[in-house]
Amino acid sequence: MIKTFTLPSSALLGLAISAATVAANPDSVDAMADKIEPQVIEWRHHLHQYPELSNREFKTAEYIAKYLNELGLEVQTGIAHTGVVAVLDSGKPGPVVALRADIDGLPVTEVVDLPYASKQTTTFRGQETGIMHACGHDTHIAMLMGAAKILLAHKDQLQGKVKFIFQPAEEGAPDGEEGGAELMVKEGVLKNPDVDAIFGLHINSQTDVGVVKYRSGGIMAAVDPYKIVVKGKQAHGAYPWLSTDPIVTAAQIIMGLQTVVSREADLTQSAAVVTVGKIQGGIRSNIIPNEVEMIGTIRTLDENVRKKVHEGVRRKAKGIAESMGATAEVTLPLNYSYPVTYNNPELMRQMLPTLSRTAGDKNVQEVNPVTGAEDFSFFQREVPGVYLFVGGKDKNTPAAEAPAHHTPEFRVEDEGMKLGVRLLVNLTMDYMAQAK
């Protein structure tokens, strides 16, 4: 369940934030962001060239930790396997602000013609594949490293502490392992010092450089993979009346599952998706098998809808199977489960002026939620959090022609990172200033 948080009355004063209440001279932050941009780009190019998969980000973690140690920060490593956490203590009382970047790559073979393109390869689930930062996590790391440098330079203007969280396995832990934000929370990453608010962002290949997108409430979906095993009775394909056909039953279940969303979910209030991604059964053309296995995914943007859809999937699968003389075993969730990525409404309202000041009013866009998922949601389930999208697309490229995330063609422009650096810094400093 999504928790509701009430901000202190002092924090609500931030709704009327003006230039006079900004924690630091914005020109100073902007000038430093300009100055370190080449270094941020250099970090990003290195990280892009040497990506690592979830829970295996060993060299990535070493690269990050070495830099944070050079800054003189208090650094911890090995959190949730390969996570890195550093704390910047201003020496003055105040809130603890957490900033998060995910650090893992994907089993994708890069085809983009870049001088820093990845040439890394591995074996993933028994198949040879390339490794690629095909979702922009390399930019997230570089942006947070840049933000750490600027915030350290403005230490005398901070009140409280900043916790920099470099999180592994956002794309999901390997089979049989725990990982990601859920494991970080379990291991106490939001404690000692206790985090008051957390901010994160994601670069987007189909949003113009310089644009930041936000939404109050649910911005990304909960994700729940599932498995359905339909069990029937095997027979010769020439004599189907001697069988209880699990293939026909599975086909009926697939069609029935579509009505869970189209006839049971109030789509005027919140979107939902039920997808079957794989169906497997049988071994040859003239044998009706004993069983069929299906796996799929459920995406929802509201906790009540989530519960209703889960109940509907179980009921439809079991009821249709029974009507066909078969049985259906439903495993839901299958191997992992992410909550809704939920931007705390009060915190979102509080920080909107910071977005406008940083990106400019015309570059701040409210968007509809998306049915992709993010394990940043595990942090937001514990403390108030805001998650944003930052543009990484060349303005001359039509959005329809921009490469999608998780594809071999994925690319984002280096120029998009400067806004992300400035946002992470300004969100931190403004939140601290308002919490006085």
- Alpha-carbon distance 285 to 48, whole Å? 46
Per the structure block, which two tokens stand in for 359? 């990106």
Bridge partner list, 103: none
Q: Name the catalytic one among 52, 102, 170, 346.
A: 170
* Three-state secondary structure string covering the chain: CCCCCCCCHHHHHHHHCCHHHCCCCHHHHHHHHHHHHHHHHHHHHHHHHCCCCCCCCHHHHHHHHHHHHHHCCEEEEEECCCEEEEEEECCCCCCEEEEEEECCCECCCCCCCCCCCCCCEEEECCEEEECECCCCHHHHHHHHHHHHHHHHHCHHHCCCEEEEEEECCCCCCCCCCCCHHHHHHHCCCCCCCCCCEEEEEEEEEEEECCCEEECCEEEECEEEEEEEEEECECEECCCHHHCECHHHHHHHHHHHHHHHHHHHCCCCCCCEEEEEEEEEECCCCCEECCEEEEEEEEEECCHHHHHHHHHHHHHHHHHHHHHCCCEEEEECCCCCCECCEEECHHHHHHHHHHHHHHHCHHHEEECCCECCCCCCHHHHCCCCEEEEEEEEECCCCCHHHCCCCCCCCCCCCHHHHHHHHHHHHHHHHHHHHHCC
Planar angle of CA 127, 130, 136, nearest 5 degrees: 130
Residue where the block lists tokens 């339909």: 230
170 as an active site residue: the answer is yes
The catalytic residue among 104, 208, 302, 430 is 104
Sign of the four-CA dihedral 130, 131, 132, 135: positive
Q: Which residues are the active-site residues?
A: 104, 170
